[in-house]
Amino acid sequence: MPTFIDESGDTGAICDGGKPYFRLASVWVPTHEDAESFRDRVRNLRRELGLRPDYEFKFSKTHVYPNRRLRFFGAALTQEFRFTVSLIDKTDPYWSCAEGSEVHWACATELAALLRPVYEQAEAGRDLPLREPVVVDDNRDKAFLATIKQQFHALKSSSRPGSSLVGKVAFRKSAPDEMLQLVDMVCGAVGTVIDDGDMTWYGMIAGRDLEPMRFS
């Protein structure tokens, strides 16, 4: 039952050129087999669209290729996945002066809390602890990764006292991993709602959001 995490925006102050919003997104699939199945679908999609085998699907790169977005999300919706996005609005007076580490901590804490029920449901009836692996898009910020590790490792099993619901938390590059590309595309879809009020792409996947009413 792997979880994949990616960020969008930055934690810098707006007055120093920072973007108004910081977003941290996560995508969860029930099994490793589901993740591999999606990766295979995207590889097939590249061939169907005549793209390079190493083409990386990113929301920011597909602005002028809406059919690529449409086909990518269509591939994702053929299987089970859930997602959630934590958002910090830096136009708010409090967050406009917050340190980047605090922004990361707040978003990581919210994601972990929102995913807890998913993890507990996945662990129910299992003979072994869940030990959910968490994969984070590699931004080379070790402090950022440490924050995610801290908040996700704090999720303890209610059925196995003392056991963590989460196992290894590690960086991975997004270019060779289609699951991390899915998180990027999800984060971008939410971003168009926040930035432009455009529901086109988020509307396709809203049914997989753990809290869909936030962006509706």
> Which pLDDT band, with edges at 50, 70 and 90, does 29 fall under?
very high
pLDDT at 168 over 90: yes
Domain boundaries, the chain: 3-215
Alpha-helix residue ranges (DSSP H) falling in the chain: 32-49, 66-76, 93-96, 100-123, 142-153, 178-196, 200-205
pLDDT at 22 over 90: yes
Higher pLDDT, 213 or 183: 183
DSSP 8-class letter at 209: B
Could you give the percent of the chain with pLDDT greater than 70? 99
> Which pLDDT band, with edges at 50, 70 and 90, does 133 fall under?
very high
pTM over 0.85: yes
Distances (CA, A) of 19 to 12, 25, 95: 7, 17, 12
Fold exhibited by the domain 3-215: Nucleotidyltransferase; domain 5 (3.30.420)
What's the distance, CA 97 to chain centroid? Answer: 25
Residue-averaged pLDDT of the chain: 94
Q: Is 133 exposed, middle or buried (0-12, 13-18, 19+ CB in 10 A)?
A: middle
pLDDT at 165 over 90: yes
pLDDT at 197 over 80: yes
pLDDT at 28 over 90: yes
Q: Please say whether the beta carbons of 193 and 199 come within 8 A.
A: yes
Residue 216: the pLDDT is 64
pLDDT at 11 over 90: no
Beta-bridged to residue 25, according to DSSP, are 6, 85
13-17, 49-53, 64-68, 171-175: least confidently modelled range: 13-17
